[in-house]
Amino acid sequence: MLVFIRSLNKEIHKYFDLSFVLKFVGLFGAFYYINMYAVDMILPGKRYNAFFFDRLNYIYWITGSIMHTANLMTRAVGLDTEVVNTRYLVGAGGHSLFMNWQCVGLGIFSFWAAFILANKMNLKRKIIWGAGGMLAIWLLNCCRTALLMVALEHHWKEWKQGWTHFRTLDHHDLFNYGCYLIILGGIWFFYKKST
């Protein structure tokens, strides 16, 4: 019986890497819940921490970098926009965008980081692949924010109200789908280069 279990275990490992799955799920859960704890520390409530909010608030740092880059993009296409209080992109036409913590992409960043760290490769490759994927997700969020501001300023009704197909599809959903497509493409490219 023990021999049968060992041979079955070998067969399973040919097609399924259980150690990768366990590492991935553990890392993803850790990153995701650490991010959610950090969110709790910046929002008013029982876990709010003024020191963390003022000095270690990486969520606002990411938000600010997205908003300032989106501002550069909208200015490059001729819109008169400015960033106000790190989280608002305001246009001359009276429209403004507010980026809440849910729009930063913490779950998507967590997914990519967990995938890269769970794989067996050297540290240099993990840094390159991890940083490249994070940069792609961040840049997609910047483009999404800039495009949304352009849509608001030019009164593109579909972007303001959402597209109705099978249900309402808004820019937040499109960003998530786009990011997961990039992640799947990155995973495919990663395995193609790794094998």
For each of the chain's 195 residues, which pLDDT tens digit applies? 667 767 766 766 667 778 888 999 999 999 999 999 999 999 888 899 989 888 999 999 999 999 999 999 999 999 999 999 989 999 988 888 899 888 898 999 999 999 999 998 899 999 999 999 999 999 989 998 998 888 888 877 655 454 444 455 566 677 778 778 888 888 888 778 776
Other C-beta atoms within 10 Å of 148: how many? 23
pTM (2 decimals)?
0.82
Other C-beta atoms within 10 Å of 147: how many? 19
**Residue 67 phi, psi dihedral angles, 5° rounding:** -65, -40
3-state secondary structure of 83: strand
CB 110 within 8 A of CB 31: yes
CB 150 within 8 A of CB 77: yes
